Amino acid sequence: MSRRGTAEKKIAKSDPVYRNRVVNMLINRIMKHGKKSLAYRIIYRAMKRIQQKTETNPLSVLRQAIRRVTPKIAVKARRVSGSTRQVPIQIESTQGKVLAIRWLLAASRKRPGRNMAFKLSSELVDAAKGSGDAIRKKEETYRMAEANRTVAHFR
């Protein structure tokens, strides 16, 4: 553990079109090799496709997808008496949101499809409905935490 003081919490900036911090977090996570304009294009095309597909506000679909995927419990590897155990820990909302965005992007990258905007929009709509690979990842994490509940006192 760090012996210095705790780090200051950074406040994420909002993106120029939707004026939303979550969209900006998504843009920064999807960006590879510093190509931010490409990340903007992918996100905005995905939002446009969600608008056409569901005929609702794409921001509400995004918020609902992130809310459904956000975990409250995660497992963390700890060394206990010579062996490594998966110890369930509660996580705060900001870390849960970061995990949810990471899982949504990983699930959309794994999807078969034409381009990233298409795959991302499909994954967001599925997650908002309660299905998809990101939801499966959350349930898998919860199952693992439930299975390792006996070692929860090793926090």
Strand-pairing partners, residue 80, are 83
Q: Tell me how far apart the alpha carbons of residues 136 and 155 are, in angstroms, rounded to a whole number.
A: 26
Once rounded to an integer, what is the mean pLDDT over residues 35-57?
A: 94
Domains annotated for the chain, with CATH where assigned, are 21-154 (1.10.455.10)
65-69, 84-88, 137-141: which range is least confident on average? 84-88
pTM, two decimals, is 0.88
Q: Tell me how far apart the alpha carbons of residues 138 and 73 are, in angstroms, rounded to a whole number.
A: 9
Once rounded to an integer, what is the mean pLDDT over residues 102-116?
A: 93
Look at residue 78 in the predicted model and tell me its pLDDT.
85
Name, in order, each residue with C-beta under 8 angstroms of 2's C-beta and a sequence gap of 6 or more: none
Look at residue 13 in the predicted model and tell me its pLDDT.
86
